[in-house]
Chains A and B, each alone.
Chain A
Amino acid sequence: MAYSLMEGNEAIARGAIAAGCRFFAGYPITPATTIYQSMLNLLPSVGGICLQGEDEIASIGFCLGASMAGMKVMTATSGPGISLYSENISFAVGSEIPIVIIDVQRLGPSTGSATRGADGDINFLRWGNSGGQPVIVLAPVDVNDCFTLTIRAFNLAEQFRCPVFVASNKEIGMTRESIDLDGLDVPEIVTRTPASSQQPFRPFQAEAAQAVPGFLPTGDNVLVRTTSSTHGPDGYITTDPDEIARGQERLTTKLLSAVDQFTFHETFNKKDADTLLISYGVTARAARAVFTEQDRQGKRVSLLVLKTLWPVPEHLIRRVAQSARRIVVVEMNMGQYVREIKRILPEKRIDFLGQMDGRLITPAQITEVIDSD
């Protein structure tokens, strides 16, 4: 096997290009800046467009316009930029605009620490839109995931016409690693489904209550309407409560009913495990080291690494946790995703280890929690 050396951010950019992304707009912010730099390096020569907006709001705005014109689009930022994206995230949710949004998380709140990592935006990504409709959030663990999960993020954005987040972290994005580019498990590329030409085009007409409307690009011969206002299938404002209800229901169920199709994860099973470790992101690497050591010592500990965080893969979590007496949730924040685990597994004992001080959670810290039982 022969390796290249690459940081997570560059792997995201290269994954995006491989997924067919040809439009990127961003605004410099540590620790996401090198995604923008990589896209600027890679896109123009393949006929793509890379822009620097006057701010984060403009950057995502450019992307939404280009996406509805038919391009695969991406933007990248960190927590402060996600805050500024918020109104346009809601727009992309409600108007079903495919977009991949990379959040290379840094220590918050607010300006926080630009060069220190955290996973403090995990709930913000899910709930930071007006209306509270679901979004998809994927969480890479390492440089390989940065490449392949970014492709999956594009596939999901195309398939479900929604914003898809990649919740990276300074400790993944700006960490260089060996990567075997030829050995990656690269998924098939998905492109949004065109609307059927059999009937007059209605931009938000879906075949079924859980379905996604067929797409036509703004600029082609058939007229397309995109609107941030509450709309019916025809793309015009509606005040009909039943029509509104159907639209809201569809925005919710198109994702919630499909999560089993995109529940990305890794499980490390120990027979008759008593304790199940659950983690994600860079912290999952420390958890993996702990699993290896516990396994070597013959201890009954399993590990679930979640790579799809939202919608919550409830079936998977229930199934994997079934036989465990105790769950230990480890995350690089003060306790966010653990709330979901408690919600899903009310009958289990759930212990939590969180930390948000710029340092990685160490295998020793996790082991201490496991041994404290």
Chain B
Amino acid sequence: MTSFLNAERPPVFCPGCTHERITRTLDRAFQEMGLAGHQIVIVSDIGCSGLFDTFFHTHAFHGLHGRALTYAAGLKMARPELKVVVTMGDGGQGIGGAHLLAACRRNLDLTLLILNNFNFGMTGGQFSATTPPDAQLGSGFLNQLERPLDICEVARSAGAPYVRRCSGFRKNLAEEIQRAIEYEGFAVMDIWGICPGRYTKKNRLTTKMIDDTLAKLPPQEGVVAENTRPEYGRHYRKMAAAQKKVARPPVIKSQYKAPQLDRQEVILLGSAGQRVITAGEILCIAGLTAGLRTTQKNEYNITVLRGPSISEIILSPEEIDYTGIDMPSVVIALDQEGVDRRRSLFKHLSKDVLVIQLSGVTIPACNARIHLVDFKDQGIKSTDRALASLAVLAELKKVIRPEMLAAALKVRFKGPALKSSLALIDRVEIGQWV
């Protein structure tokens, strides 16, 4: 069998480092599996474990600290046939903790080898997420304040279907690695090792001590029965294949003549939950049925079902530049919250402006023509009032006509929603001039 190791770039680890042993063991595992170099990608993290990709004749991807699992996920989704092996230290596991949790939950077919030597070796031996509190390291007393993380317990509880903890000095480590790579799903190996350059300068740690400590911990032997489930990529492709193809957005035929031939600007002042934005969209589509150009600019808070909701719609026979509205043709006062947000608008309104005012909504004094409607009396729910106000607009032959509105509803809705919206605009009483 041919080694995958790059003869021109031999390992450069400190004498006695477990990483070197794992490098050679990983090579043996690849050989045992009968793979070719191009069937493998090594995604290496940062630090000493980040050197791995340079030692092998395989595809290689070396990114940023803690993020190796994210690149690996992209590679695996794009190339499901690749064996994707991630090498990461306890440092990368700490900084990329969210990615480890997500990878466990996702169960994409990746193999994560965590080369756990209990410290940040390359930067001078600072404490990591797995450093014991009593270790003497480059972080002074800080590691005494934190509790080390049990990677395997975390991985199990996050849903990893394969979790294996073992010593980097284990005799059959190559077989263990092979077993992890061959598992179809997310496989985590927490491999304990010795960092002679930093960790064991001031801390005693031998292979026997590692074995003794591991013997006292609950065994983590690979397959986690309760987490076994379909592999993410396979599952994704199955679900994706069942998705329906999305049609092109409807092209609206110009078939009507708008009641006014010049540019019209409408402001809907309402509150969240009144379907103000949907009504604005319908008004736009109604404009398209008359061959007009249109824009809809919306304003609302981040809250859902609370707060003002405002929609500004422009319909014009010409191209629309600026999308804001300074002097509207129509203001529809649907709710107090919307009116209060734009109070300053009213004092500028001229007598040519139409204001449709719903009963119960008070508006500042202004020169505009006021048209009062009482939707409450008509039994029209709050969620329907924005749409009902468009029916009033259409009946008044302002901006749109009833046939434009009906055509827009037929574009926007289907089935029962279409039926009920057509029924609604049919039964709206248009109110009276003040």
Q: Which residues of A contact B (CB under 8 A)?
A: 1-6, 10, 23, 25, 30, 41-42, 44-47, 49, 51, 53-55, 57-58, 60-71, 73, 87-88, 91, 114-115, 171, 174-178, 181, 217-229, 235-237, 282, 285-286, 288-289, 292, 359-360, 362-364
Q: State the CA gap A152–B254 with chains docked (Å).
A: 31
Does residue B72 face the partner (Cβ distance < 8 Å to A)? yes
Is A115's CB under 8 angstroms from B101's CB?
no
Q: State the CA gap A219–B67 with chains docked (Å).
A: 20
List the one stretch of B146-154, B183-191, B205-213, B238-246 in contact with chain A.
B238-246
Is B61's CB under 8 angstroms from A218's CB?
yes
Q: State the CA gap A6–B411 with chains docked (Å).
A: 13
Which A residues lie within 8 Å of B296 (CB)? 5, 175-177
> What are 15 A-B pairs with beta-carbon distances under 8 A?
A1-B254, A2-B254, A3-B288, A4-B251, A5-B249, A44-B239, A54-B98, A57-B70, A58-B73, A64-B63, A65-B70, A66-B78, A71-B78, A223-B37, A289-B321
Is B245's CB under 8 angstroms from A288's CB?
no
List the one stretch of B165-173, B299-307, B372-380 in contact with chain A.
B299-307
Residue among B53, B246, B252 with the highest chain A CB neighbour number at 10 A: B246
How far, in Å, is B107 (CB) from chain A's closest CB?
14
Which A residues lie within 8 Å of B291 (CB)? 1-2
Given contacts A23-B74, A41-B246, contact A181 B61 (CB under 8 A): no
Is A115's CB under 8 angstroms from B302's CB?
yes
Which A residues lie within 8 Å of B284 (CB)? 5, 176, 178
Name the one of B38, B53, B60, B71 contacting A65, with C-beta atoms under 8 angstroms: B71
Is B75's CB under 8 angstroms from A223's CB?
no
A179: nearest chain-B partner, CB-CB: B249
Question: Count of chain B residues with Cβ under 8 Å from any Cβ of A?
Answer: 72
Which B residues lie within 8 Å of A42 (CB)? 246
Name the one of B53, B75, B294 contacting A178, with C-beta atoms under 8 angstroms: B294
Does residue B424 face the partner (Cβ distance < 8 Å to A)? no
Is A45's CB under 8 angstroms from B64's CB?
no
Is A2's CB under 8 angstroms from B78's CB?
no
Which A residues lie within 8 Å of B293 (CB)? 3, 177-178
Q: State the CA gap A51–B71 with chains docked (Å).
A: 13
How far, in Å, is B413 (CB) from chain A's closest CB?
14
Residues 50-88 of B, flagged 1 when their CB comes within 8 A of A and 0 if not, give: 000110011111111001011111111111011000000
Q: State the CA gap A66–B80 with chains docked (Å).
A: 11
How far, in Å, is A227 (CB) from chain B's closest CB?
4
Q: State the CA gap A225–B249 with chains docked (Å).
A: 42
Is A58's CB under 8 angstroms from B98's CB?
yes
Which A residues lie within 8 Å of B249 (CB)? 4-6, 10, 181
How far, in Å, is A343 (CB) from chain B's closest CB?
29
Does residue B322 face the partner (Cβ distance < 8 Å to A)? yes
Is A181's CB under 8 angstroms from B251's CB?
yes
Residue among B57, B70, B245, B293 with the highest chain A CB neighbour number at 10 A: B70
Which B residues lie within 8 Å of A63 (CB)? 74
Q: State the CA gap A292–B71 with chains docked (Å).
A: 49
Does residue B102 face the partner (Cβ distance < 8 Å to A)? yes
How far, in Å, is A178 (CB) from chain B's closest CB?
5
Name the one of A4, A47, A224, A362 contacting B322, with C-beta atoms under 8 angstroms: A362
Given contacts A171-B297, A181-B251, A292-B321, contact A227 B244 (CB under 8 A): no
Residue among B9, B53, B64, B241 with the highest chain A CB neighbour number at 10 A: B64
Restricting to B93-108, which residues have a CB under 8 Å from any CB of A? Answer: 98-99, 101-102
Given contacts A65-B75, A219-B41, A219-B59, contact A363 B322 (CB under 8 A): yes
Which A residues lie within 8 Å of B67 (CB)? 57-58, 61, 87-88
Is B74's CB under 8 angstroms from A224's CB?
no
Given contacts A23-B78, A221-B38, contact A228 B63 (CB under 8 A): yes
Taking A61-B63, A64-B63 as known contacts, 6 extra A-B pairs with beta carbons closer than 8 A to each other, sorted by chain A number, are A54-B98, A62-B71, A226-B63, A227-B60, A236-B54, A360-B323
Interchain residue pairs A-B with the least CB separation, the first 6: A65-B74, A61-B70, A69-B78, A44-B240, A54-B102, A219-B79
Residue among A49, A91, A178 with the highest chain B CB neighbour number at 10 A: A178
Which A residues lie within 8 Å of B76 (CB)? 65
Residue among A171, A176, A288 with the highest chain B CB neighbour number at 10 A: A176
Does residue B285 face the partner (Cβ distance < 8 Å to A)? yes
Which B residues lie within 8 Å of A49 (CB)? 77-78, 236, 240
Name the one of A45, A69, A222, A229 contacting B74, with C-beta atoms under 8 angstroms: A69
Which B residues lie within 8 Å of A5 (CB)? 249, 252, 281, 284-285, 288, 294, 296
Q: State the CA gap A175–B313 with chains docked (Å).
A: 10
